[in-house]
Structure 1
Amino acid sequence: MKKRKIMLLTIGILLMIVFIFFGTIHYKMTQYVDTEPSKNADYLIILGAKVNSETPSLALQYRIDAAAEYAKENENTILIASGGQGPGEDITEAEAMRRELVDKGIPESRIFLEDRSTSTYENIKFSKQFIPEDAKLGIIVTNDYHLYRSVQIAKDAGLTVEGLPAKTPQITLLKAYSREYLSVTKYYIEKYLLK
């Protein structure tokens, strides 16, 4: 009987720790949902997402829309479209973004293509080559649930950045947040435990 009580207590404590841990991650993620970035940033890095053949997924379209709106209001900001080509994609994510941005009136001369990356880490790593040497402030553009980790990765890479949240499609909300909890956990493990 005593062993059973100890076991139940241990399970209860572990569940409470897990609940607090994921609750903390959720809180940090939601802090970026309504964030308002500074005006006149030197550059935007728009993170890639799924392209269906040559058509941006809704998640990517929301990122493009947010970036285009900012770019129109801040005409000296350059845009780095970051994303390679994955399964089921006939063009790179960067190229899909470029096409949409041009359609929305953003001059091609302001758009740089980073078309090799396959992860958020690579988005940041490979985009750095397009950042002007005298740049002081950048902005990461991605769906709101993904913004916290993306900004942390960019800061880890030595960039001074803020976040510009794009909407997350309602249909993918549960799946997106669930996967991101695990991705943030992996990020913490790699950053703090495996160094």
Structure 2
Amino acid sequence: MGLLVVGGTAFRVWQVARVDDRDRADVVVVLGAAQYAGRPSKVLEARLRKAKTLFEQGVADHVVTGGGRREGDRFSEAEAGKRWLVDHGVPADRVIDVGEGNDTLGTIKSVAGVVLGKGWATAVIVSDPWHSLRARTMARDAGLDAWTSPTHSGPIVQTRETQAKYILRETAALLYYRSTHASADRIAIDQEVG
């Protein structure tokens, strides 16, 4: 039975990763990833490029960047994301940075609070493909009507070995979240993606 649950969850992680839903929404939400002195990491930049494309295609009128700061950082992941988007042509008044949360769950809860507080309800989540199912699940649990449009570029999707690693990692993280409704960082799963 356990193998069926794990195998079925891994299949859903893989399946949802392949779905690129660009239906109209209130906001595009970019989940944070590492930044260095205000400069997005390659993982975060791939997410920001995807969000910019969605914004330009009219999927949503606003982009929300999420993610807090690590100890010693001058910028939050959200601030670095907003700066990148504005520097690349997205109007500053169309980007909302939510600089709270140092893991997926904390970021999603903070973003949902801001989005719902503005009277919006629908969101397209941009993250890495393998992270999509867990991010969508958490967003829905936080009260958002959410779907995903994952990035298909960047270091996390380049090799089959890397993809397999992240599918296994996300399978464990999603099973942990579903059983505890707690952040997966407690089991060292959620350090890079979030």
TM-score tier (shorter): 0.7 to 0.9
Say which SS state the counterpart of residue 19 (structure 2) adopts. coil
1:153 aligned to 2:141? Answer: no
1:170 aligned to 2:182? Answer: no
Q: CA deviation at 1:155?
A: 0.8
Q: CA deviation at 1:112?
A: 0.6
Q: Counterparts of 2:168 and 2:34 in 1: how far apart (Å)?
A: 18
1:79 to 24, 41, 63: 63
Larger displacement relative to structure 2 (118-127 or 132-141):
132-141
Q: CA deviation at 1:87?
A: 5.1
Q: Counterparts of 1:149 and 1:75 in 2: how far apart (Å)?
A: 22
Give the corresponding residue for 2:87: 103
Maintained 8 Å contact 2:112/2:143: no
Q: Counterparts of 2:75 and 2:49 in 1: how far apart (Å)?
A: 19
- Residue deviations 1:33-89, cap 9 Å, x none? 231324331111111011234322221111111100000111752111000112574
After TM superposition, the score normalised by the length of structure 1 is 0.80
Say which SS state the counterpart of residue 179 (structure 1) adopts. helix
Q: How many residues align?
A: 175
1:59 to 23, 40, 43: 43
The letter for the 2-side match of 1:41 is: A
The letter for the 2-side match of 1:72 is: E
Q: Larger Rg: 1 or 2?
A: 1
Q: Counterparts of 1:107 and 1:176 in 2: how far apart (Å)?
A: 33
How high is the sequence identity, in percent, across the aligned residues?
26
Maintained 8 Å contact 2:101/2:110: yes
The letter for the 2-side match of 1:48 is: G
1:187 to 154, 169, 177: 177
After superposition, the Cα gap between the structure-2 partners of 1:107 and 1:43, relative to the gap in structure 1 and judged at 3 Å, is same
After TM superposition, the score normalised by the length of structure 2 is 0.80
2:32 to 44, 48, 62: 48
Q: Counterparts of 1:190 and 1:92 in 2: how far apart (Å)?
A: 27
Larger displacement relative to structure 2 (174-183 or 65-74):
174-183
Say which SS state the counterpart of residue 21 (structure 2) adopts. coil
Give the corresponding residue for 1:10: none
